[in-house]
Amino acid sequence: MELCSPHGRILLDLGAPLDYDTHSMPDWDTLRQSGVLPQIQGLYADGMPGFDAILLSHAHLDHSGLLPFAHPDIPLVLSGGSKALMELGARFLRQPMFTSRQIIFEMYRTFFIADIQITPYLMDHSAFDAAAFEILADGQRIVYTGDFRCHGRKGKSFERFLEQVAPSPDILLCEGTTLGRETAPAQTEEALELKIAEQLNNTDGIALFQCASQNIDRLVTFYRAARRSGRRMVVDCYTAAILAELRKSGNKLPTAKTHSNLSIYRPQEPQKTLMLVRPSMLSELLPDDEIQNGVFFYSLWNGYRDEPRQAELEAFLSQRGFEFVEAHTSGHADTETLQRLLAKLNPQQIIPIHTSLPQGFAKFSGKVRIVQNGEVILCR
């Protein structure tokens, strides 16, 4: 999303479509011709830079995945946690860093890009250090929620956001990922922890789980469930590096160095283990006779299960006699949370984003404006 003021021009996020493999992304020309890279003058590396900054809400690929195509002279403004996650991802995948010009913002501390005033707010989301933004320029005020929820381990940050953001913004850019998917309130991370621990207590064999390594809330959920059930949680080097790097910012995340029941792949007593797996580990799991007759927790969006590599992993585990358990809760706001947000902020206009059902907002408010890709909105 592009925001222009009399003297400034910024881009909010630059994400890749969820159905694109950013590890083997097609070249620039192919992406431009297919329309995946939108026609935005001054954004890409093939021309002169025309933006004052790209403002990143969080490090998920659907918000950051196309950053490698941006002009390297355009500053990337992001949180310290997002920077750490993206740098680790680039290092482990042996990919070039997204840009050499990075500016780190602090949550709740106002800053300026040209004449655009921005205040970031920490949000509860399945991405570490995710932010919402309150943006003021030329007498107008826009609030961008980023991705958010209130049923995670940082639910208090959502409450603080509601308390501190001034009501009645001119425009609310609001995510609505779950619209059309569910009606019941989302399960909390704490409830999910208890469910997993109960299953672990009733399982004699090895336990495996699959979740995103950058979903820190979910890693903590599995770690706490493992501790409740007397198991050691085992993670790969990438996940261990993420936990160690993020702990440097002063939180109490578990690491292999600081917590005795967290280890790095692989254990000696599989029946007392809860181990993270992903499709890329299949070749290492194949010769291991201990990998059988256990439980496999799937903790991702179900849409990923149609991918061939995921199907291959699940077929292998099924052949080895594993019980499958879905143990997931959304990283996005449920219907009740969306209603609370809209009632509290009472925006003049609501522009739905990050949703396959933008018209679903109409049941919450009569101030909804459906915007098409490429449409220009003049605030005055």
Boundaries of every domain in the chain: 2-182+332-363, 189-326
Q: What is the pTM of this model?
A: 0.91
Ranking 29-43, 86-100, 172-186, 228-242 by mean pLDDT, the lowest is 86-100
Residue 312, CA distances (Å) to 280, 299, 317 in order = 10, 17, 9
Q: Which two tokens stand for residue 46?
A: 């093939």
Taking 70 as the threshold, does the pLDDT of residue 194 lie above it? yes
The answer to whether the 2-182+332-363 and 189-326 domains have the same CATH topology is no
Q: How much is the pLDDT for 97?
A: 64
Q: How much is the pLDDT for 174?
A: 97
Chain centre to alpha carbon of residue 93:
18
Taking 60 as the threshold, does the pLDDT of residue 231 lie above it? yes
Ranking 10-14, 163-167, 230-234, 286-290 by mean pLDDT, the lowest is 286-290
271-297 confidence digits (pLDDT tens):
788 999 999 999 888 888 878 899 999
pLDDT-above-90 percentage for the chain = 70
How many angstroms separate the CA atoms of 294 and 28, rounded? Answer: 44
- Mean pLDDT along residues 183-211: 93
- Position 93 confidence tier, pLDDT thresholds 50, 70, 90: confident
The larger pLDDT score, comparing residue 173 to residue 29, is at 173
Burial environment of residue 268 by CB neighbours within 10 A (0 to 12, 13 to 18, 19 or more): exposed
Type of residue at 31: L
Taking 80 as the threshold, does the pLDDT of residue 267 lie above it? no
- Mean pLDDT along residues 27-44: 84
Beta strands in 283-370 (DSSP E): 295-298, 323-326, 350-353
- Position 96 confidence tier, pLDDT thresholds 50, 70, 90: low
Nearest to 63 by CA among 177, 152, 206: 177
Domain covering 2-182+332-363 assigned CATH 3.40.190.10 in the classification? no
Give one DSSP letter per residue of 251-271, joined into a string.
-----TTT-TTEEES--S-GG
- Mean pLDDT along residues 41-45: 91
- Mean pLDDT along residues 303-328: 94
Q: How much is the pLDDT for 172?
A: 97
pLDDT-above-70 percentage for the chain = 94
Residue 99: partners with Cβ closer than 8 Å, 6 or more residues away: 67, 70, 72, 74, 75, 76
Ranking 24-28, 105-109, 189-193 by mean pLDDT, the lowest is 24-28
- Mean pLDDT along residues 104-123: 98
How many angstroms separate the CA atoms of 1 and 84, rounded? Answer: 24
Q: Which two tokens stand for residue 121?
A: 């707010």
- Mean pLDDT along residues 24-44: 81
Strand duo 295-298 + 350-353: pairing: unpaired
- Mean pLDDT along residues 168-195: 92
Q: How much is the pLDDT for 266?
A: 62
Any idea which fold 189-326 has?
Answer: Rossmann fold (3.40.50)
How many angstroms separate the CA atoms of 273 and 234, rounded? Answer: 7
Taking 90 as the threshold, does the pLDDT of residue 367 lie above it? yes
Taking 80 as the threshold, does the pLDDT of residue 236 lie above it? yes
Taking 90 as the threshold, does the pLDDT of residue 39 lie above it? no
13-26 confidence digits (pLDDT tens):
999 887 776 556 66
Nearest to 132 by CA among 153, 115, 154: 154
- Mean pLDDT along residues 99-107: 88
Ranking 15-24, 127-136, 361-370 by mean pLDDT, the lowest is 15-24
- Mean pLDDT along residues 126-150: 96
- Position 207 confidence tier, pLDDT thresholds 50, 70, 90: very high
